[in-house]
A and B are shown apart, each in its own frame.
Chain A
Amino acid sequence: MKNIAIIGSGAGGLITSSKLSKDLSKEIKNGEVTITLFDKKREQEFQPGYLEVAFRGTDPSKIRRPVKKLVSPGVKMVYDNVEKVDLANRYVKTEGSSEKINFDYVIISTGSSPDYDQIDGLKQANMDFHTDAYNASLIYNRISSIKSGKIVVGIGGLPYKCPPSPNESAFMLHEHFRKKGIRDDVEIIYVTPFTRIYSAESINEVIEPMYERRDIESITAFNTDTVDAEKKEITSLEGETLKYDYLFLTPPHKPAGFLKGSDMSDEDGWVKVDKKDLHITTYDNGFAIGDTTNIPISKAGVEAHLEGIVVANNIVGEITGTGQKYKFTGRTQCSMETGFHKATFVVGTYDRPVEKIEPSTMNYMEKKVMEKIYWGSLHGHYEWLFKYHFKKDYFEE
């Protein structure tokens, strides 16, 4: 009997559990394998949809689904969070419980969440479009009442998930006020700790001229240190201050609390994994995928997905004895909506630098297709399509 524990029912956890349950359906039926997914959340949200909710007024219910509809047959869902993973002794404990739940394989896919403690005052001042659908919906009401003023938008700290999302928020704010005919009364300033508006040069070459044309001012190498919500002022680590009327910063992110201080994590709690086969350094029965890893590539759903497929395939190979071994190629594909029904993509791998892709309506339509197939993709329904789309980047044999 082999027990597989998957922690976190987000994009990575669900895709991995679906793949495992499909490929090991015979073993599950015969009682030779169990798959258990842990997460106290009963609803999941399509996170890229937060931008639509915040800046276009999409109803939050459109981007939510109950977890019970997302879990594939053969997977047991436990609605509790995990507070301890003991890799050496192969057990997990859920919050508040002393029961040791044994595993043969564990996959940690606990994502990342905002770390407001890193920046004093940010939580009180910030209009956070980035964290959940409910808060994103409050933003739409607020921006609908803005008639004039100075908006500061951008990257509040590192790391954060979905690298293009702060740029997208600037483009979507521009579009919102342009459509309302009051863009000239609203100043938009983009701040970033990087030396370019987008950190990768090839994409920066595409969007910098767009910022200029759209009169979005940028302040690069700005390391937000504190925010004074009363004075409406942000101060950088270097002591520069910047006034705002409305603040839309993407906050720095942190991993799940139980990972900090653990021997499998770095000093900030990100899980140390092999960047190709995702096993947790020094343990061969433990894996981490998605936002929670310390791999220095984008924290994005595409990575969580492709990493999950690699890990699932390798576990299936061990259990069924085929010995198949796959590797993650480092493929990224983050869409960046540039407004007015156009988008670009940030595409690269471990071996290929980020490509220069001009914004187009076709890219925007591809992004929209992804929205449509997202929930089905968590069940593994479109793996044939992803395999076709990513070609040799899908995985390395």
Chain B
Amino acid sequence: MTTLNVDSRGTACPGPITDLIRAYKKAQNGDLIVLVANDPGAVPDSKAWCERTRNEFVGSKEIENSFEITIRVTGKKA
């Protein structure tokens, strides 16, 4: 299992989701993607994206004006 850290601070829609999708393309099932963004829209957008792609939205927390969003990659075909 690998953790992919994606720093999307300073970018607004669709920056964080673009970064998330680009990291997802390189990830494998079981990997974690930790996305840090300061665009508040990144949290609902990532949640919606996880629901639609059957990946797991592990959670989000606020750290110093940013949001740390953790996603477990579970949706990729075997």
Q: A interface vs B, CB < 8 Å? A: 118, 157-159, 163, 193-195, 199-201, 220-221, 223, 225, 235-239, 268, 275, 296-297, 348, 350, 353-354
CA of A219 to CA of B10 in the docked complex: distance in angstroms? 29
Query: Do B25 and A237 have beta carbons less than 8 Å apart?
Result: yes
Considering only CB atoms, which chain A residue lies closest to B55 in the complex?
A238
Query: Do A158 and B18 have beta carbons less than 8 Å apart?
Result: yes
Is the C-beta of B8 less than 8 angstroms from some C-beta in chain A? yes
Is the C-beta of B53 less than 8 angstroms from some C-beta in chain A? yes
CA of A221 to CA of B51 in the docked complex: distance in angstroms? 9
Query: Do B14 and A194 have beta carbons less than 8 Å apart?
Result: yes
Query: Do A238 and B12 have beta carbons less than 8 Å apart?
Result: no
B41 cross-chain contacts in A, Cβ below 8 A: 201
Known A223-B24, A297-B15; 15 more pairs at CB < 8 Å: A158-B22, A193-B21, A195-B52, A199-B13, A199-B14, A200-B13, A201-B41, A221-B48, A223-B21, A235-B77, A237-B25, A238-B54, A239-B76, A296-B15, A350-B12
B18 cross-chain contacts in A, Cβ below 8 A: 158-159, 199, 296
Task: Identify which of B8, B10, B17 contacts A199 (C-beta below 8 A).
Answer: B17
A159 cross-chain contacts in B, Cβ below 8 A: 18, 22
A195 cross-chain contacts in B, Cβ below 8 A: 17, 45, 48-49, 52
Tier of interface size on chain B: 20 to 34
| In the complex, per-residue mask of B67-78: 1 if CB is within 8 Å of any chain A CB, else 0 | 000000001111
Q: How far is the CB of A122 from chain B (nearest CB, A)?
A: 14
B78 cross-chain contacts in A, Cβ below 8 A: 239
A118 cross-chain contacts in B, Cβ below 8 A: 25
CA of A275 to CA of B76 in the docked complex: distance in angstroms? 33
B62 cross-chain contacts in A, Cβ below 8 A: none
Task: Identify which of B13, B17, B53, B54 contacts A354 (C-beta below 8 A).
Answer: B13
Task: Identify which of B10, B12, B49 contacts A221 (C-beta below 8 A).
Answer: B49
Query: Do A237 and B75 have beta carbons less than 8 Å apart?
Result: yes
Considering only CB atoms, which chain B residue lies closest to A267 in the complex?
B26
Q: When A and B form their complex, which 4 residue pairs have the shortest distance between CB atoms, in order from nearest?
A: A239-B77, A199-B14, A221-B52, A296-B15
CA of A354 to CA of B14 in the docked complex: distance in angstroms? 10
B52 cross-chain contacts in A, Cβ below 8 A: 195, 220-221
B window 17-55: CB within 8 A of A:
17-19, 21-22, 24-25, 41, 45, 48-49, 52-54
Which residue, A220, A296, A297, has most C-beta atoms of chain B within 10 A? Answer: A296
Sampled A-B contacts (24; CB under 8 Å): A157-B25, A158-B21, A158-B22, A159-B18, A194-B49, A195-B45, A199-B14, A200-B13, A200-B14, A201-B13, A221-B48, A223-B21, A223-B24, A237-B25, A237-B53, A237-B75, A237-B76, A237-B77, A238-B54, A239-B77, A268-B22, A350-B10, A353-B12, A353-B13
B11 cross-chain contacts in A, Cβ below 8 A: 296-297
CA of A348 to CA of B13 in the docked complex: distance in angstroms? 11
Query: Do A238 and B76 have beta carbons less than 8 Å apart?
Result: yes
Query: Do A238 and B75 have beta carbons less than 8 Å apart?
Result: yes
A199 cross-chain contacts in B, Cβ below 8 A: 13-14, 17-18
Q: How far is the CB of A114 from chain B (nearest CB, A)?
A: 16
Query: Do A223 and B77 have beta carbons less than 8 Å apart?
Result: no
Considering only CB atoms, which chain B residue lies closest to A351 in the complex?
B12
Considering only CB atoms, which chain B residue lies closest to A239 in the complex?
B77
Q: How far is the CB of A161 from chain B (nearest CB, A)?
A: 13
Q: How far is the CB of B26 from chain A (nearest CB, A)?
A: 9
B77 cross-chain contacts in A, Cβ below 8 A: 225, 235-239
B13 cross-chain contacts in A, Cβ below 8 A: 199-201, 353-354
Q: How far is the CB of B76 from chain A (nearest CB, A)?
A: 5
CA of A225 to CA of B53 in the docked complex: distance in angstroms? 13
A201 cross-chain contacts in B, Cβ below 8 A: 13, 41
CA of A348 to CA of B77 in the docked complex: distance in angstroms? 37
B49 cross-chain contacts in A, Cβ below 8 A: 194-195, 221
B24 cross-chain contacts in A, Cβ below 8 A: 223, 237
Considering only CB atoms, which chain B residue lies closest to A195 in the complex?
B48
CA of A199 to CA of B11 in the docked complex: distance in angstroms? 13
Q: How far is the CB of B77 from chain A (nearest CB, A)?
A: 3
